[in-house]
Amino acid sequence: MRITFLVPGRGLVGGIKVMGEYAGRLRARGHDVAVLYRRGARNFKRWLQRWTSRRTSDALDESGCALTAVREFTADSVPSADVLITTGLRAVRAASVLPSGKGRLVEIVQGTIHVEEDPAEARKVMALPARRVAVSDHVAQYLKTRFGVDAAVVPNGVDHSQFYNNERQFRVPRTVGMIYAAGEMKGTAEAFEAMRRIRDQWPDVRLVMYGAKRPRSAPPRTEMSVRPKTPRLRAIYSGCEIWLAPSRSEGFGLPVVEAMACGVVPVATRAGGHECIIEDEVSGFLVPVADSEAMAKRIALLLEDESILRTMSAAAHQRSLAFDWETSTDRLEELLRTWVGEADRPPASLGA
């Protein structure tokens, strides 16, 4: 199939990473894949180049996919294809007015937060004749309840050749990891408060974070990595015993399942996507949104009882095996073939 990806933003956020994973893997399966990204979104281009280089030993300046920077997604800039895959309200709106020869429109819906930020625009987009893929049951149920829209569920995956920990150790003092991101919806303030409570009793517990930029302020004795590459990211996960995921809204929770693949026990909010990954009190703990006290209590339980920590670490790793990029690509590829076939099928005659 000829497949075009329209990537709306810049940076190494999870949504862009998902688009890059699918673009690279579909290309590796023999499809003709092009990726268009808005001019200035160079970080995505570098990420996709690293992905392809890792898989095919290409030079870093070779992506494996046809990469094109554009100011806007227009009929002149977007090539003809069988399928046009995009994500995000603005990109979907732009894709919807393109000629039909640009491909069957497929929207990957990766969360609910941006939808709620602009509900009027969301209603217009959800009324468009696109096929939709939701990254979790949570997102699919939200679309059905909020807009009456059906979506096929294709969960995000993990590359288990990248994220693993064959020598799981439980060090003292323990280490808690988390992503740093600004914004109230990320729950960073609640996470910091939970760590303050923990350090009242266990002052030596370490806090390790990664993110797009350094925070203006953070708890004492915090180690921060900015835009870590994959080997460093695996080392961060593997060096933690506990992963704190405090988001107030989450479509899936890709870092959570990556950490679980490295045997890290998650303590995560009931923010939607987390509940589709974690089996509460088995492969991790789920706590109420914005409840720093509940976060601290669950972290404390893991600090107090190493047998619980070890048991849940093994369960977290086992649960992560349910999420695999190749399996997800199998499902997406199957859906794309079906939808392209529907587009090619002539309409039934009135007398049929």
pLDDT tens column, 86-132: 999 999 999 999 999 999 999 999 999 878 888 899 999 999 999 99
pLDDT for residue 67: 78
pLDDT at position 275 is 98
Among 43-47, 72-76, 120-124, which is the least confidently predicted range?
43-47
pLDDT of residue 50: 52
Indicate the fold that domain 2-157+325-344 takes in CATH: Rossmann fold (3.40.50)
Judged against a pLDDT cut of 60, whether residue 185 lies above it is answered with yes
Range list of H helices, the chain: 14-28, 42-56, 89-96, 113-117, 119-126, 137-147, 188-201, 230-238, 254-261, 292-304, 306-320, 325-344
State yes or no: pLDDT of 58 exceeds 70: no
How many CB atoms neighbour CB 333 within 10 A? 18
Cα(197)–Cα(311) distance, rounded to whole angstroms? 25
Residue 343 has pLDDT above 80, yes or no: no
Where are the extended beta strands (E) located within 121-183? 131-134, 152-153, 175-179
The tokens of 256 are what? Answer: 């959570």
Listed by start position, the domains of the chain span 2-157+325-344, 175-320
Tell me whether domains 2-157+325-344 and 175-320 share a fold: yes
**Band (11; pLDDT cuts 50, 70, 90):** low
Other beta carbons within 10 angstroms of residue 68's beta carbon come to 15
Amino acid at position 48, single letter: L
Residue 72 CB partners (closer than 8 Å, separation 6+): 38, 94
Least confident of 51-55, 148-152, 308-312: 51-55
Q: Output 113 or 35, whichever has higher pLDDT.
A: 35
Read off the pLDDT band of 297 (50, 70, 90).
very high
Contact in structure between 157 and 323 (CB atoms under 8 Å) = yes
Topology of domain 175-320, per CATH? Rossmann fold (3.40.50)
Q: What is the pTM of this model?
A: 0.89
Contact 19, 156 (CB under 8 A): no
Average pLDDT, the chain: 89
Percentage of the chain exceeding pLDDT 90:
76
Report the sign of the C-alpha dihedral through residues 71, 49, 20, 268, in that order: negative
So what's the pLDDT on residue 56?
34
Instruction: Evaluate if residue 136 carries a pLDDT over 70.
Output: yes
